[in-house]
Amino acid sequence: MPVTLRPQDDSGSVANSNTYIDEVWMTEYLEEAGYDVSEFADDDDKKVHLVRAFRYMNTRFGYKGEPESRDMSSAFPRYDLTDRNGNLVMGIALPVKQAQAEYAWLSKTLPDGLNPNPTRDASGARVTQISERVGPISESKSFAAGGSYDKPEYPVPDSILRAAGFIMTGGQIVRG
């Protein structure tokens, strides 16, 4: 089934957007970075993973500033977004595009994609470690405290966004 990309523009005015970049931009970026883009079957396969990456990165972090998207379909561009040097960022910044290309690559190449389901036992508790011994038979399991789930870290794209200074790192104090 063909996928239609609806790239968000620099003003945030594209309704129901589903990407920041197109498959051509992604392909050029990945090839320049040395990735083997033949992993993607065709342009529609690239588009599928761009949309997955877009959805992931829009919910992965809390970002500085406020979304400019009229229908809130995208996290970027942002009003009052500043980079790590305090400069005002207008439109969809290069690090956002680079991160989406990297997330799309991971979406395609990781066995479980970007959002792997946590391993759980029959009771529903999240398993963090399983140990088995064959003779005499023994098995043990370690569980996550409180049943919490930590999203996986993806060093390259996460670092691109962190280095740009776009990720909110602390609480916000509002005085009135």
Residues 120-144: tens digit of each pLDDT = 556 656 565 666 777 777 676 555 5
Angstrom distance (rounded) from CA 68 to CA 79: 6
> Domain residue spans in the chain?
1-146+154-176
Q: Are strands 127-133 and 78-79 parallel, antiparallel or unpaired?
A: unpaired
- Cis peptide bond upstream of 7, omega within 30: no
Which element (helix H / strand E) includes 138? strand 138-143
- Residues 141, 121 contacting (CB under 8 angstroms): yes
Mean pLDDT over each residue of the chain, to the nearest integer? 86
pLDDT for 173 equals: 46
Residues 57-110: tens digit of each pLDDT = 999 999 999 998 778 889 999 999 999 999 999 999 999 999 999 999 999 999
- Residues 167, 61 contacting (CB under 8 angstroms): yes
SS3 50: helix
Question: Which two three-digit tokens encode residue 12?
Answer: 């945030």
